[in-house]
A and B are shown apart, each in its own frame.
Chain A
Amino acid sequence: MDANEIKELEEVQAEVQENKFDRVENSTDNLKQKIGFNLLRGATWIILAIVLIIISHIVRQGIGVISWEFITEPPRSGMTEGGIWPAIMGTVFVTILTAVFSVPVGVFAAIYLNEYAKQGKITRLIRMAIRNLAGVPSVVYGLFGVALFVQRTGFRASILSAGLTLGLLTLPVTITASEEALKAVPNSYRHASLALGVSKWHSIHTNVLPYAIPGILTGAILGLSRAAGETAPILFTGAAFSLPRLPNSLSSQFMALPYHLYIMSTQHHNLGAVRPIAYGTALVLISLILIMNFGAIFIRSKFRGKFKE
C-alpha cells in the first residue's frame, strides 16, 4: 500500500465519521463499524511502521559508510576497508542471468497453460505443483542447484549455476504472475479475433499478449527482486567469499550483496569493526531492490492508462 492509498483511506474514513455516522450515533452497528475501521487502519499502520523502522534503522546505521569509494571500489585489507563494487555488480549480473532464464520459460509456460492446455485434472495438478514450488525453502533450491548445475551438468560453482538456480526459484512466481496477467485479458478479445478467421497463435501474440505484458513484467520484476536478495541458493552454487575482480565469464564465481552481507554480519573475524560495512551493504541491497520495485510500479502505471480512452 503506498502513501496515496493510505491518504485516500484516511479521507474516506474522516468523511464517513463526519457525515454518515452522525445520523446513527447511538446504534451498536455504529460502534461495530468504528471498531472494524480502527482494526483495519491499525493493521495498515502496523505494517507501515515495521517497514519504516527497518528501513530507518538500516539507513541510520549504514549511511555513514556510503561514499563514492564504497560503491565503486573492491574490498581491501581483509574486507575491513574499501567498497563493495564487485558484490553490487555480481548481484546485478546474476539477476540479469536469472531474468534471461526464468522470464522466457515462465511466460511460455504460462501461455501454454492458460491458452493452449486442455483444462482439467492434469493442468490443475501442474498448477498445484507450481504453487507448491513457490513455497519450497530457498536453501532447498540451493542444494538442488548444487546437485544439478554444479555437479551433474558440470557448470561448477559459477555465476551460470547460480543464475540457473535463482531462475528455478523465480519460475513459479513468473509463471503464476504471467498466468494471472493473461487471465485478466478479456476473453472477448480472443473470441473476436478468432471469429475474424485469425489463427490462434496470431490472436494470442497480437491481441492477448500485448495487454498482458504490463502484468507479466510486474510479476517478473517482483520475482527477480526477491531473487536478488536471496543468499541460500547462491551460497553453494557460485557466490564467492571475496573476489576483488568482477566475473568475466559465465564460469566465473562472483560476489553478491546478500552473501557479502551474511559474511559481514556473521563470518568476519572482526565483526564489531565491519558492522558499519554490513549496514552499508544492506542499505545498497535494499536500495537496489526498491529501485526494481519502483520500476515495476512505473511500468504498471505507464501501461495502465494506455488501453483506456
Chain B
Amino acid sequence: MSKKKIEIKNLDFYYNDFQALKNISLDIVANQVTALIGPSGCGKSTFLRTLNRMNDLIEGTKVDGDILLDGENIYAKGVDVVDLRKQVGMVFQEPNPFPKSIYENVAYGPKAHGITDKDRLDQIVEQSLRDAALWDEVKDRLDRSALGISGGQQQRLCIARALAVKPDILLMDEPTSALDPIATAKIEELMDNLREDYTIVIVTHSMQQAARISDYTAFFLMGEMIEYGPTERIFEKPEHKKTEDYITGRFG
C-alpha cells in the first residue's frame, strides 16, 4: 500500500514578486484523503491549484520545482493542460453548477470529450450521480435546471460533474464552507466512499473536518508546509509547536 500518486518536490510559487509557496515537498498517497489545513492566506488553496495547474489562469504567476503525477512532471514542456485536468478533477468552494439542466451539467464533460452516444451518456450521468450520492434525489428531474436544487445538492452535482470525466484525483477547495451541517455531513460521507476509487486532496479551514475525514494532513503556514503526516499523528502528537498551537486553536 501507500503508493505515491503525486510527488511534490521543492515547489515554489510566486504571484508576481510575492512568494506564496516556499519549498514545499510532500508525497500524496493514492486512494487516501489528504487534507490541507492552515489559516487564511497560508497558501493551501494556491498549493491545491498547482496540482491541476489552475493557477496558470492567473497572470503573473510562476512555478519552480517539480510535481510528478504517476512519475510524470506535470509542469514539463509539452504537457497538455487539458489532458492533465481530465485526470485531476476539481470541486470549488462555492457550488458552481452551469445554468443548464442537471443532466447537461453531468454530461458536459463527457460530451466535450467527444462522447455522443446517448445511451453511453445516460449511463455515465446515472453512474456519476450515484457515485455522488445524488441519484435518488434528482432522478425524476434530470431535465430541470441545476440552479433549482439546494446548495448541498448543487455541490454534490458538481462532484458528479467532476466524476463524469473519470479523473484519478479529485481536488476539493473548501467544498463544504458554503454549506449547512447536514449537507456537509453528506459530502463528508461521500468522500469517505470515494477514496476507494479516487485520490482526494481537500483544502479545509475546519480542523474537525480534517480530523474526521482525512488519512493524511498537511499543515501550511505563511507559504510553508510546517508539518505533514498521518492525520492521527498530526492531531495527537504534532511535532511542531506551530502545528500544536494551530490545532489547539491558539491562532488561526
B57 touches A199 (CB 8 A): no
Q: Please state if A202 and B112 are interface contacts (CB–CB under 8 Å).
A: yes
> How far is it, in angstroms, between the C-alpha of A289 and the C-alpha of B87 when the chains are bound?
53
In the complex, which residues 254-279 of chain A have their Cβ closer than 8 Å to any Cβ of chain B? none
Contact indicator A188/B112 (Cβ below 8 Å): no
Name B95's closest neighbour in chain A (CB-CB): A188
Q: Which residue of B lies closest to A192 (CB)?
A: B96
Question: Which of B83, B94, B99, B108 is A193 in contact with, Cβ under 8 Å?
Answer: B108
> Are B86 and A192 closer than 8 Å at their CB atoms?
no
43-90 of chain B: CB within 8 A of chain A: 52, 54, 57, 59, 82-87, 89-90
A309 — nearest CB in chain B belongs to which residue? B148
Q: Which of A186, A196, A307, A308 contacts B108 (CB 8 A)?
A: A196
Chain B residues with CB under 8 A of A211 = 99
Q: A78 interface residue, CB < 8 Å from B?
A: no
Q: Which of B84, B87, B92 contacts A191 (CB 8 A)?
A: B92
Enumerate chain A residues within 8 angstroms of B148, measured Cβ to Cβ: 309
Any A CB within 8 A of the CB of B39: no
Q: Mark A166-206, 1 if CB is under 8 A from B, else 0.
A: 00000000000000000000101101111111110011001
Beta-carbon contact of A196 and B165 below 8 Å: yes
Q: Is the interface of B mostly helix, strand, loop or mixed?
A: helix
Contact, CB under 8 Å: A194 / B57:
yes
Please judge, given known A-B contacts A192-B158, A207-B108, whether A197 and B145 are in contact too, CB under 8 Å: no
Chain A neighbourhood of B59, CB < 8 A: 118-120
Mark each residue of chain B from 142 to 175: 1 if its CB lies under 8 Å from any CB of chain A, else 0.
0001011000000000100110010100000000
Contact for B57 among A189, A191, A198, A207, CB less than 8 A: A191
Q: Total interface residues on A, using CB and 8 Å?
A: 23
CB < 8 Å neighbour of B87 from A194, A197, A202, A308: A197
Q: Is the CB of B147 within 8 A of A197?
A: no
| Closest beta carbon of chain A to B115's beta carbon, Å | 13
Judged by a CB distance under 8 angstroms, whether B109 is at the interface is yes
* Whole-angstrom CA separation of A178 from B160 in the bound complex: 33
In this complex, what residue of A is CB-closest to B109? A196
Residue in chain A with minimal CB distance to B87: A197
* Residues of chain B contacted by A202 (CB below 8 angstroms): 112
Instruction: Point out the residues of chain B lying under 8 angstroms from A206, CB to CB.
Output: 108, 112
What class of interface size applies to chain B in its complex with A? 20 to 34
Nearest chain A CB to B166 CB, angstrom units? 10
> Chain A nearest CB: distance from B87 CB in Å?
7
Contact of B96 among A118, A188, A203, A308 (CB under 8 A): A188
Asked if B89 and A196 make an inter-chain contact with CB atoms under 8 angstroms apart, the answer reads: yes
Complex Cα distance A202/B94, Å? 23
Q: Find B85's partner among A119, A194, A309 (CB 8 Å cutoff).
A: A194
State which of B145, B147, B162 has its C-beta within 8 Å of the C-beta of A196: B162
Interface residues of A in 112-137 (CB under 8 A from B): 118-120
* B-chain residues with CB within 8 Å of residue A308 when the two chains form the complex: 99, 145, 147
CA distance in complex: A207, B104 (Å): 11
For A200, the closest partner residue in chain B by CB is B82
Question: In the complex, how many angstroms separate the beta carbon of A202 from the nearest chain B beta carbon?
Answer: 5
Whether A195 and B147, one on each chain, are in contact in the complex, defined by CB atoms closer than 8 angstroms, is: no
Contacts A193-B112, A198-B109 aside, 16 further interface pairs with beta carbons under 8 A come to A119-B59, A120-B59, A191-B54, A191-B57, A192-B96, A192-B161, A194-B57, A195-B54, A196-B112, A196-B162, A197-B83, A197-B84, A198-B112, A211-B99, A307-B99, A308-B145
Closest 10 CB pairs of A and B: A197-B86, A197-B85, A188-B96, A309-B148, A307-B99, A195-B90, A196-B109, A198-B112, A192-B96, A309-B145
A-B contact list, 12 entries, CB within 8 Å: A188-B94, A191-B57, A192-B158, A196-B162, A197-B83, A197-B86, A197-B87, A198-B109, A199-B82, A206-B108, A307-B147, A308-B145
